[in-house]
Structure 1
Amino acid sequence: MEVKILVKKRTLDLSKVLAATSELIDKQGIAAVTFPNLAKKLGIRSQSLYHYIDNRTQLLSLVGANRIKALNENLKENLVGMSGQEAILKFCDLIRDYLLEDSALAAILYHLNEYERDAEINIELLKVIELGTKLKSDEDEPISVHALVGAVLGYVFFDRSAIFSGESKEERNSNYHQMILRLIETV
């Protein structure tokens, strides 16, 4: 008598793990990203996740890096042929709009201090900063892309919170642009 053993073929890969993590963040927030929660969502044992990632920090770094790659592509597509002050303002607007739409990436970025310098998320974020630096029309312009990205992230943080929920969209946009223009206009 011949006995056949059915082996379940592994169909899980890193991209599926990252997609499930993104979905968890979108629906339940970054605190919900635990190996047990992720394993349950994927229908696997939590130990199986270690075939793809070392820990939660690496997982969030990879999810953030993938989303920043998409942001960078969006920036490149929308900034072709632009430079100087107009390009910098558009650069900031595109990042802000993207982060207001992508709650997972916004949440991950507010934990940026938890990642090592060589983490995937930081590597991808540096590419965005490099792109912003290339938009400057003159090396002598007193524009710090570091300050711009920091200002955008800070503003997104407050845009996403309830603290300024009484402001209209027009007021938020006006105040935001006023802040960015103060950073990029020459003195």
Structure 2
Amino acid sequence: MTARTLSKEKVITAAIQIINQEDNLTFSKLGRLVGTRSQAIYNYFPDVLAVRVSVAADFYDKLAQRLEVDLLGLTGKQAIKAFCHVCVQFSLGQYVMVQQIIDIPADHLHDEPLNSSFRNIYEILHRYLKPLIPDEKRQMVFSRMLRNLIIGQIINVGSGRYTNTPISKRDSFDDMLELILLSL
């Protein structure tokens, strides 16, 4: 591959491949994988952290696409339950990637493409909360509760917790989700 065929998208795809192999992401490894010198990548990204931020935006874009497909035709509490389950399953299926996203320092999370990608997911959730909760403050509280439940489930299940309990991971998640939705 020559420098003329290099693109941000190719670098992001290569970065995803490296991350999924649980290898350290470096410009040298990216360069080898895309068939160019590592210095050429600096034309697209200033550092590895910027690549990781773009990978995170790509992850959220793919999650939003999956949500749009899987929630099609659903409404109300059924849609909210499906939203939560899709987020958890999608993320657990790519847990190594999720770990990389969680590890991005907070001062790098204000990247506009990343914010836009995450905002799409937030808007999908609010599309289903608005008809059930007219008050904006309450919507925000429910949104935060649901996101905390989702993130907690991803981290705990992904890191191997909840393995020796008398209730399955899925059943306990469903019970917690049901408790939240009972207050709607």
8 A Cα contact 1:79 1:90, kept in partner = yes
Distance, in Å, in 2 between the alignment partners of 1:101 and 1:25 is: 13
Q: How does 1:57-136 map to 2 (within 5 A)?
A: 57-112=49-104, 113-136=106-129
Evaluate the alpha carbon distance shift between residue 41 and residue 90 of structure 1 in structure 2; reply closer, same or farther with a 3 A threshold: same
Evaluate the alpha carbon distance shift between residue 46 and residue 128 of structure 1 in structure 2; reply closer, same or farther with a 3 A threshold: same
Helix, strand or coil: the match of 1:54?
A: coil
Where does residue 4 of structure 1 map in the other structure? none
Question: What is the CA-CA distance between 1:24 and the residue it aligns to?
Answer: 0.6
* 1:146-187 deviations in Å (ceiling 9; x for gaps): 22122201210111113333359x700011111222222217
* 1:61-110 deviations in Å (ceiling 9; x for gaps): 11111121111111111212322211111100010010011234412331
8 A Cα contact 1:61 1:119, kept in partner = no
Distance, in Å, in 2 between the alignment partners of 1:174 and 1:139 is: 26
Larger radius of gyration: 1
Where does residue 146 of structure 2 map in the other structure? 148
**TM-score using structure 2 length:** 0.84
Where does residue 185 of structure 1 map in the other structure? 182
Distance, in Å, in 2 between the alignment partners of 1:108 and 1:126 is: 19
Spell out structure 1 runs of 4+ moving beyond 6 A.
none
Give structure 2 stretches of 5+ with no counterpart. none
8 A Cα contact 2:14 2:33, kept in partner = yes
Paired residue total: 177
- 1:174 paired to 2:171: yes
Evaluate the alpha carbon distance shift between residue 9 and residue 128 of structure 1 in structure 2; reply closer, same or farther with a 3 A threshold: closer
Distance, in Å, in 2 between the alignment partners of 1:56 and 1:25 is: 12
The aligned amino acid for 2:118 is L
**TM-score using structure 1 length:** 0.83
Evaluate the alpha carbon distance shift between residue 116 and residue 71 of structure 1 in structure 2; reply closer, same or farther with a 3 A threshold: closer
Where does residue 157 of structure 2 map in the other structure? 159
Alpha-carbon RMSD: 2.3
Helix, strand or coil: the match of 1:135?
A: helix
Evaluate the alpha carbon distance shift between residue 163 and residue 35 of structure 1 in structure 2; reply closer, same or farther with a 3 A threshold: same
Q: How does 1:36-47 map to 2 (within 5 A)?
A: 36-47=28-39
Give structure 1 stretches of 5+ with no counterpart. 1-7
Helix, strand or coil: the match of 1:10?
A: helix
Question: What is the CA-CA distance between 1:9 and the residue it aligns to?
Answer: 6.2
